[in-house]
Structure 1
Amino acid sequence: MLKKILILSLLLPVYLLSSTINIAVATNVSYAMDELKKEFHNLYPDINVRVTLGSSGKLTPQIKNGAPYDVFMSANMSYPKSLYKDKIAITKPRIYAQGSLSYLSAKKQDFFKGVQLLKDKKIKKIAIANPKTAPYGKAALEALKKSGVYNQIKNKLVYAESASQSLAYSISAADIGFVASSALYSPKMKKYKEGIHWSDVNATLYTPINQGIVLLKHAKSNREAKIFYDFILSPTAKKILLKFGYKVL
């Protein structure tokens, strides 16, 4: 009995020091998140990070309805701005990365044609994230309309719930699709080659995808959540985001 008490007394300080923070994260960041979490854990081993992934447009109403998230990493700035306006976010939205859009196909494609490639008769289905809830889908729709091909290809569009689902559709249920460029830097995507299976979408066709982060009111007295928030804005995190194809400001 004495031995058990001794063991518990030794473990108790570790238990008291450890804590868990809940982070709501746009799915496009999922590819970089493992490495971000790993580096954060190296720096702060007593802080556990629990990540919930989803489209920014679906995570936002969850937060407004009281979901107990401490930090929100959105795929654009409009959703964190909305939370700040409603006083649910306690920090002004800040840009932590700038995302970009790419085409992806499991088959070899002639990407020299650019967006005009989508009009090819061989391309019958085009994956795109839901533009109503996913900023990368909104950017893709903007690119289609600005390039003047939307009316010709709109019946080919297959809508996914999020950027990550659009990635899955692009190499399975569709002939080609619009994806977050960050996904292409995942180790799982190594077999898909630039210029053969994927290519960047002309950045002049869509508004820059400034991705925003906010600290939420649920974390008002949570020192650990503030530490994570500061980490994402740090040079260390930015270096990791660069590796996954993001631009950092």
Structure 2
Amino acid sequence: MKYSYFFVLVIFLLAVSCKNSGRKEKLVIATAANMQFAMDEVTEAFSRQSGIETEIILGSSGTLTAQIMAGAPYDIFLSANLQYPEHLYKQGLGYRPPETYAYGQLVLWTCKEGIEPSLETLRQEQVSHIAIPNPQVAPYGRAAKEVLMQKGLYNEVASKLVYGESISQTNQFIRTGAAEIGFTALSVVLSEQVRGTGSWLKLPQSTYSSIAQGVLILDKDTQQLNNAIKFHNFLKSEKARQILEKYGYLKADE
């Protein structure tokens, strides 16, 4: 009886093991928050074409980088700049060198009636809070700070700045009115979820450094390596480009 019980137990464990091994694992994509709405559409198109399921993990580029360095099980990283992916690659955490897949654009956005989205508005008394992604971890925040510095506004409005840890949190500040105005990505205000909410101004690209959106396939030992490569290739496809352009992203070769 003892051996019979042991035999049944082994068969049960093998069955469970086979069942689990046959279960599809999702391709986990660490994604900078500026890409939130565009990525929903990109991954949906990718899954329809490939049959590969995906999971999006959102955060600021700096926070996601720290998580990856700490061992987070992500398969591919879409950053709001190229510096973070390059740093990870130099640490031996990338399958091959990162690439720029698109360029982002910066806007001023307000959801408050009577407030005009302009740089001059930032000086006005009616504006007491200006939302900005944290420049230390969010490339769009770094770009926003560059605009303020270039226009000689930074010291004047520094006390009004309210920092979001990502563009997602910054958007919450703007949409809820916690900040009268703020900086965000063009892709946000062009999304179906936000379009028509408040008013916005696209800032001249000459006022900030290019926001190169970088992509890095992570550690070559990942079980999802082949799927990550397929997604990387899909990002460069005409279908993905059309989606990204709809959200205001510029082609990497422009």
Q: Tell me which interval the TM-score lies in, with the shorter structure as reference length.
A: 0.7 to 0.9
CA 1:203 to 1:109, structure 2 compared with 1: closer, same or farther past 3 Å? farther
Offset, 1:17: 8.2
**2:79 matches 1:74:** yes
Counterpart in the other structure of 1:155:
159
2:239 aligned residue (224, 227, 236): 236
Report if aligned partners of 2:27, 2:224 keep a CA contact under 8 Å in 1: no
Counterpart in the other structure of 2:13:
none
Counterpart in the other structure of 1:224:
227
Offset, 1:162: 0.3
Report if aligned partners of 2:29, 2:57 keep a CA contact under 8 Å in 1: yes
Offset, 1:236: 1.4
Counterpart in the other structure of 1:143:
147
Gaps of 5+ in 2: 1-17
Counterpart in the other structure of 1:129:
133
The count of corresponding residues between Structure 1 and Structure 2 is: 231
**2:116 matches 1:110:** yes
C-alpha distance in 1, partners of 2:61/2:77?
Answer: 9
Counterpart in the other structure of 2:216:
214
Counterpart in the other structure of 2:196:
191
- AA paired with 2:192? P
Report if aligned partners of 1:24, 1:73 keep a CA contact under 8 Å in 2: yes
- AA paired with 2:159? N
C-alpha distance in 2, partners of 1:125/1:237?
Answer: 36
Counterpart in the other structure of 1:182:
187
Counterpart in the other structure of 1:168:
172
Q: TM-score, normalised by structure 2?
A: 0.86
Larger radius of gyration: 2
C-alpha distance in 1, partners of 2:144/2:224?
Answer: 39
**2:46 matches 1:33:** no
Report if aligned partners of 1:192, 1:198 keep a CA contact under 8 Å in 2: no
Report if aligned partners of 1:219, 1:225 keep a CA contact under 8 Å in 2: no
Q: TM-score, normalised by structure 1?
A: 0.88
Identity %, equivalent residues: 38
Offset, 1:59: 0.5
Gaps of 5+ in 1: 1-11
C-alpha distance in 2, partners of 1:68/1:81?
Answer: 18
Partner secondary structure for residue 171 of structure 1? helix
Report if aligned partners of 1:115, 1:201 keep a CA contact under 8 Å in 2: no
- AA paired with 1:146? Q
Report if aligned partners of 2:88, 2:94 keep a CA contact under 8 Å in 1: yes
Partner secondary structure for residue 198 of structure 1? strand
Deviations 1:133-185 (A, max 9, x none): 00011110111011101111100001111011111111221000001110011
Offset, 1:221: 6.6
Deviations 1:94-147 (A, max 9, x none): 111100110110124334xx4222101111110001000000111101110111
Aligned residues: CA RMSD: 1.8
C-alpha distance in 1, partners of 2:32/2:44?
Answer: 18
C-alpha distance in 2, partners of 1:243/1:17?
Answer: 35
- AA paired with 1:154? A
C-alpha distance in 2, partners of 1:244/1:82?
Answer: 27
